[in-house]
Amino acid sequence: MTTSQAPADQALEAHAVELLERLVRHDTVNPPGNERAAQEELAADLQEAGFEVTLVGRTEERPNLVARLRGHADGPVLGLLSHVDTVPAKPHEWRHDPWCGEVIDGELWGRGAVDMKSQTAAEVAAGLALAREGWRPARGDLLIISVVDEEVGGTDGAIWICEHHPDLVRCDYLLNEGAGALMPSGDERLYGVCVAEKGVHRFRISTRGTAGHASNPRLGDNALLKLAPLIARLGERQPPYDVTEGPARFLAELGLDPADPEGAVATLRERDPLLALLVEPALGITFAPTMAAGSGSINVIPSDAHVDVDCRTPPGVGEERVRERIAEALGPDGYEVEILERVVGNASPVDTPLMDVLRGWVEREDPGARAVPVVLPAFTDSRTFRAAFPDCVAYGFFPMPNSTLYEVWPRIHAPDERVDVRDVGAAARCYRDVARELLG
């Protein structure tokens, strides 16, 4: 891995870290968000450097930021996307103030340090460095997009701006959150590039019985007892795999056969159990029972009971396949199914000019390492951009050569969130270099 840095790279890292310190010190916990002050600071810096800056939102208190650096000729538009809202933090659970924004032993602490103000800072620092040195795209435009409201669904953020101001944010290529932490696998160093995100088809399983007095259980027909074995089956019988392009390519990159996903997972479990644990959910539909209810009173045998299930679906998989997989797990009878929420996941192609650029950057930055396509079991604002602009190639990539995925993942939405400052610098270099290579 490359360790020495040119003076320009050192300055870029220092600036990105300073931006992150400032961003973390803004309490943008959503709800309510309160993102305006942070967005205005970023807007002022970008405008001073020569970007055309727009602040626009559904409400005045929560503006989205779009900054454009125009090129010399027509060409592709590269968008660098992030969000500045965060989930809550309970200070008493932290070793340091969640909004301190301090560097301690080489790590910057605070809510949003990983998810995802670090990427905001790296993207903005990269754009500012390019603009201040006089660079302009030879072809196309560079967009920096900082949105609000991602943590509770994006209604005021990506969804709103793509619907109401599509021409502001329309782009051909997009880099966002979703992957990039180092994945050690045997002797290899792998960096995931998120090419797709799963959808959700959350559902409710209900059972019916006859109410009765709980003092004599045999007088009623307890719906909760009918539900219990169904919950157990949902935990015991995860559906067969439905492998899509992204995870198929990932398995192939590991030398495993995507046509035999069961065998591939079994091999990976022996070779690298931690990596297998993270990879397997991307291969198909998953069921996670999370909320159950029966009687509203402890002394009444319930006549109905239900369990709500968080169901995540591969890109392109819809309700028909979900219902097939439910029936396979539970059998055909004895319950009712209600789909509570439907969001079909989507994906971008794996083989694109943007992927070529990212692969080349990883190979130069960390000789011997490889960039590989991955699928995120959750979802990000990339899903919204793919849906709004079907030709947009949207990837998640925040390279972290100094932190493994196994170290980073537990810090997201958790106490003691922090990021290695060297990774903030690496990401800023990546976004700067990708913009130069892709746009000229």
Kindly list the catalytic residues: 85, 150
- As a whole number of angstroms, the distance between CA 341 and CA 174 comes to 27
- Taking a C-beta distance cutoff of 8 angstroms, is the pair 421, 13 a contact? yes
- As a whole number of angstroms, the distance between CA 66 and CA 307 comes to 42
- The one-letter amino acid code at 79 reads G
3-state secondary structure of 131: helix
- The one-letter amino acid code at 427 reads A
How do strand 346-347 and strand 336-343 relate by DSSP bridges?
Answer: unpaired
Long-range contacts of 89-96 (CB under 8 A, 24+ apart): 89/29, 89/415, 89/417, 90/415, 93/415, 94/415, 94/416, 95/415, 95/416, 96/416
Sign of CA dihedral 243, 247, 252, 257: negative
Tokens of 13: 């890292």
- As a whole number of angstroms, the distance between CA 78 and CA 170 comes to 9
- Residue 357 CB partners (closer than 8 Å, separation 6+): 434, 437, 438
Burial class (CB in 10 A: 0-12, 13-18, 19+), 320: exposed
